[in-house]
């Protein structure tokens, strides 16, 4: 956001606070071409995660739902840029919720696809090395961590995400949940996120979301999670 916009009235700064944190996070962790957000390619076929996540779900989730966030993010960024150029700070502030929602959706899903891998390749099993040691230290064991994550997912009211995060200050691991598409920002680095929106599971699991929460562990790419942990 421009310095002029952020120096506006306190109420305006409050309205933009969350979305101002989203933009740099999205820019740093997702793909942009000529200043526009783009839908990332997957490193596996839509059907590669079956039987744990169906190919139909993956195709709709990626091509339709994620694309909606990409389109919405670009629209929000264009609207804010145009409003700033005209000095229309009220208009810019009114777009802040859309920037947070679509920017968060793009960021969250871009990280999510990288969290996954076919069970026949890197998917499933348990983490190893320094990540396993950190999980054992901060959660007691991998099984305890997985149970806590599933409990966090089950406790989400409506739509949202559960994340394994690393605290930048303490270096410890923890679990956080976020409503809707709110991204993980501030002192936390997101390592592993699980999507609890209905579009992530309903075509296959219907209202049995606990089965989805159990099944997705079979396709978690722990190498990617470990790489994020080591860079955090």
Under a CB-based contact definition with an 8 Å cutoff, are residues 159 and 134 in contact? no
Q: Is 109 annotated as a binding residue?
A: yes
Q: Is 199 annotated as a binding residue?
A: yes
Crossing angle for the helix pair 10-29 and 96-115, to the nearest 10 degrees? 30
Within a 10 A sphere around the Cβ of 99, how many other Cβ atoms? 25
What are the residues whose beta carbons fall under 8 Å from the beta carbon of 76, sequence distance 6 or more?
Answer: 95, 98, 99, 102, 103
The β-bridge partners of 189 are 166
Distance in angstroms (rounded) separating the CA atoms of residues 126 and 192: 13
Distance in angstroms (rounded) separating the CA atoms of residues 117 and 182: 24
Distance in angstroms (rounded) separating the CA atoms of residues 161 and 179: 7
Positions at the binding site: 61, 109, 195, 199
Positions at the binding site for Mn(2+): 61, 109, 195, 199
């Amino acid at each position: 956001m421009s310095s002029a916009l952020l120096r506006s009235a306190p109420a305006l700064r409050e309205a933009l606070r969350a979305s101002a944190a989203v933009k740099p996070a999205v820019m740093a962790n997702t793909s942009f071409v000529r200043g526009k957000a783009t839908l990332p390619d997957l490193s596996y076929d839509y059907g590669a995660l079956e039987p744990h996540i169906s190919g139909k779900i993956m195709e709709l989730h990626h091509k339709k739902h994620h694309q909606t966030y990409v389109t919405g993010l670009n629209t929000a960024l264009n609207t804010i840029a145009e409003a700033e150029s005209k000095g229309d700070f009220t208009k810019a502030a009114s777009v802040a919720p859309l920037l947070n929602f679509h920017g968060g959706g793009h960021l969250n899903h871009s990280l999510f696809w990288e969290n996954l891998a076919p069970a026949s390749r890197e998917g499933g099993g348990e983490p190893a090395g320094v990540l396993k040691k950190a999980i054992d230290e901060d959660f007691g064991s991998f099984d305890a961590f997985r149970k806590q994550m599933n409990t966090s997912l089950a406790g989400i009211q409506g739509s949202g995400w559960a994340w394994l995060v690393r605290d930048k200050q303490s270096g410890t691991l923890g679990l956080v949940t976020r409503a809707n598409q709110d991204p993980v920002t501030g002192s936390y680095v997101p390592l592993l996120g699980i999507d609890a929106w209905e579009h992530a599971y309903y075509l296959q699991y219907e209202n049995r979301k606990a089965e989805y929460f159990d099944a997705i562990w079979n396709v978690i790419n722990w190498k990617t999670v470990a790489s994020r942990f080591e860079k955090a």
